[in-house]
Amino acid sequence: MTPDAIPLVLVAAVGRNGVIGGEGTLPWRLPSDLRRFKARTMGKPLLMGRKTFASIGRPLPGRETIVLTRDPGFAPPGIYVVGDLAAALELAQARARAMGAKEIIVAGGGDLYAQTIGLAQRLDVTEIDLEPAGDAFFPFVDPALWRETLREPHPAGPGDDASFTVVAHERR
């Protein structure tokens, strides 16, 4: 990324075992963290994979959605669709500038997190106090590459399946 590039931030909710999803859905119910995700991502471009978009089912209001997919026939209304990571990142930079956003959010899934963790400047990880079964995982956060800058525990709120801790990391 160029020095004037808008920072890339990976935002994820992760079980203690690294699971972020299973069979196209979140393996927990955490309305408290979903509200935090909305506040954290509002007014910013969201970059996500096709399966993550399918699990949400629609563009999220107040954000611009960029979906990375190899499926040339995938074209839901109200989103940008791109076929390769370089094009997705270029479009995300352009959309962030047009929106006046200070960062670009990578919102999943596991494959896209793995492809972008080496390019990201920050990680915003909600560590869920569960170990669910799943088939999608967040990549290992190497402490040699990432410095923890925030650790904020949250008790389970109304409707939450578990307590969680918000952990922020910055690239060393």
Q: Is residue 1 part of a domain?
A: no
Residues of the chain with confidence (pLDDT) below 50: none
Q: Would you say residue 2 lies in a domain?
A: no
Q: Which residues lie below 8 Å from residue 84, measured CB to CB, with a gap of 6+?
A: 68
Decide if 161 contacts 32 (C-beta within 8 A): no
Domain that holds residue 136: 8-171
Q: Quote the pLDDT of residue 49.
A: 97
Structure tokens at 86: 């370089």
pLDDT digits (tens, 9 = 90+) for 44-77: 999 999 999 999 999 999 999 999 999 999 999 9
3 within a domain of the structure (yes/no)? no
Q: Is residue 90 part of a domain?
A: yes
Question: How many independent structural domains does the chain possess?
Answer: 1
pTM of the model: 0.96
What CATH number is attached to the domain comprising 30? 3.40.430.10
Question: Looking at the domain assignment, is residue 140 inside a domain?
Answer: yes
